[in-house]
Amino acid sequence: MLESPAVQPSFRLKTDVLSGLTVALALIPEAVAFAFVAGVDPIVGLHAAFLVGLITAVFGGRPGMISGATGALAVVLVSLVSEHSIGHMFAAVALMGVLQILAGVFHLGKFIRIVPHPVMLGFVNGLAIVIFLAQLGQFQVPDANGVLQWMPQKPLLIMLALVAVTMLIIQFLPKFTKAVPASLAAIVVVTGLTLGFGIQTPTIVDSLRLMSGNPEASLAGGLPSFALPDVSWSWETLRIIFPYAVILASVGLIESLLTLTLVDELTETRGRGNKECIAQGAANLTCGFFGAMGGCAMIGQSMINIQSGGRGRTSGIVAALALIASVWVAAPVIELIPVAALVGVMFMVVIGTFAWSSIRIMNKVPLSDAFVIVLVSVVTVLTDLAVAVFVGVIVSALVFAWKHAKVIHSVSSTDENGSRVHSLRGPLFFGSSKSFAELFDPKNDPKDVIIDFQHARVSDHSAIEAIDSLAERYLALGKELHLRHLSPECRQLLKKAGSMVEVNVIEDPNYHVASDALG
């Protein structure tokens, strides 16, 4: 029997705590980096990672999933901050939270189910590539002109060696013991090696100072405090922030719900999408009034947590608390961790995230599915997750419509009364309505014709219009047309053929037609 995601056995408490500590170490450099992407101070990103991580861990619909400041939102926020102000950013994040809460209240989270599996494969592959490419920046330093270039040979080789040691520990330690998460053990060992042997390699604080250009920069900071966004509360402000809020809410929910689905598959449990929408919204609403940049689910850190054994809410809570503790009291210790150790952890996340099976099945799945996998992967890398998912779903839907448009056909026969019976088979919708019309020849049909819909499904208003148009063609020729086994809703929508429908309350189906006419 599968374990409910809401249940956290006591024997997993230790694993959840250790997993949370590991995740906290991986959250810090990401939050700092995304803060710089958005054009705000590092503490704004760290506070977002804390608030979003804690609130979603406590109230979210997917225990074990990690949320925090993300690059997908940072790239949207940067233009708002640069063109207006950081106050506008906080206001937009708060409004984003309201929209996400409404999405959960109106149960919009269920629509993540329409994302096809090839889109999911493209999503994880593209995100794995994005995570990998993001780590390459750690091997680069600016020259005298501020242009990034690869490190000199010796520091580069040292860093690559430490990355390799980290990856080897993560790969092979679980074969000997699972008492301590391999990622946490790798970070501790590599940090100990660099301190014990005096190995010169960039640390977290070095990376922070490099990104900020401030040689005195530090992770140290206080707790987030309440403050209203510094904007004029007017329609003009709403006009500025609303488009950003809609984009932020969409990107945040798509990334969160897709990550939720992925964690569901890995843990063989079922998360609650609508509850997660509300939790994400509450977290971002809080961020807007506590000086943080907002966030959503993070696939990389979620994978670290799951691979380290984190399954319950405790892991996410510990990660958030450990992060703020490191900012508040333990910053001098955390700053000593080599960047190479965190890069090694993220490289292992890349290996674990990428759907390697998608490569093996490329020549076994339909060509259209293979194309969608590659397309979504490429679009994810070149643009962002939300655009990639929208593109993937639209392409998949068009392929589905094209394939099913060719399925519809008719089986014709003559009954005992000499009437021609056309038994329709397959779905009748906007894609197949033209093919439906071509199945019949009113001029050559006898005086009495029956069209039986018992084995067909009328799906939308385009189908209704196709039936009406066909009925009008038979009427114009003065022929008797009977339409059997249509649902009551179909009969309600028909105009031209209304009197031709034979009602059979026992055999007629009872499905619903997607139509604005019944709105």
Type of residue found at 87: G
The number of CA neighbours under 13 Å toward the Cβ of 347 is 21
Question: HEC string of 146-182?
Answer: CCEEECCHHHHHHHHHHHHHHHHHHHHHHHCCCCCCH
pLDDT at 215: 86
Looking at 3.40.50.300, 3.30.750.24, 3.10.300.10, 3.30.43.10, the CATH number of the domain 406-518 comes to: 3.30.750.24
pLDDT at 13: 87
Type of residue found at 408: I
Q: How far apart are CA 124 and CA 127, in angstroms?
A: 5
pLDDT at 115: 80
Sign of CA dihedral 41, 42, 43, 45: positive
pLDDT at 395: 93
Residue 43 structure tokens: 């503490």
**What pTM was estimated for this model as a whole?**
0.72
For 450: left if phi > 0, alpha if psi spans -120 to 50, otherwise beta; the answer is beta
Closest CA to 280 of 58, 115, 81: 58
How is the chain split into domains, by residue range? 13-360, 406-518
Q: How far apart are CA 307 and CA 182, in angstroms?
A: 9
Q: Which residues of 194-217 are buried (b: 16+ CB within 10 A; e: fewer)?
A: beeeeeebbbbbebbbbbbeeeeb
Residue 114 structure tokens: 């329409």
| Alpha-carbon distances of 377 from 44, 214, 393, rounded to whole Å | 30, 36, 13
Q: What is the DSSP letter of 448?
A: E
pLDDT by residue for the chain (519 residues), tens digit each?
Answer: 344 444 445 557 888 999 999 899 888 877 877 787 787 888 899 999 999 999 999 999 999 999 999 877 887 888 899 889 999 999 999 999 999 999 999 988 877 777 888 988 898 898 788 878 888 888 988 877 778 899 999 999 999 999 999 999 999 998 888 777 788 889 899 999 999 999 999 998 888 788 777 888 787 878 899 999 999 989 999 999 999 999 899 889 988 998 898 898 888 888 898 999 999 999 999 999 999 999 999 988 898 899 888 889 999 999 999 999 888 888 888 888 898 998 888 888 788 878 898 999 898 889 999 999 999 999 988 877 778 888 998 999 889 888 888 888 999 998 888 889 999 998 888 889 889 999 999 999 998 889 888 888 888 888 888 888 888 888 889 888 888 888 777 777 676 556 655 545 446 676 666 655 544
Q: Cα torsion at 346, 349, 354, 355 (round to 10°)?
A: 180
On the 0-12 / 13-18 / 19+ scale of CB atoms within 10 A, 279 is buried
Type of residue found at 284: N
Q: How far apart are CA 362 and CA 196, in angstroms?
A: 48
Question: HEC string of 105-128?
Answer: HCCHHHHHHHCCHHHHHHHHHHHH
Q: What three-state secondary structure class fits 443?
A: coil
* Helix count and strand count (H, E) for the chain: 20, 9
Q: What three-state secondary structure class fits 480?
A: strand
pLDDT at 152: 93
Q: Which residues pair with residue 413 across a beta bridge?
A: 421
Closest CA to 167 of 123, 132, 201, 125: 132
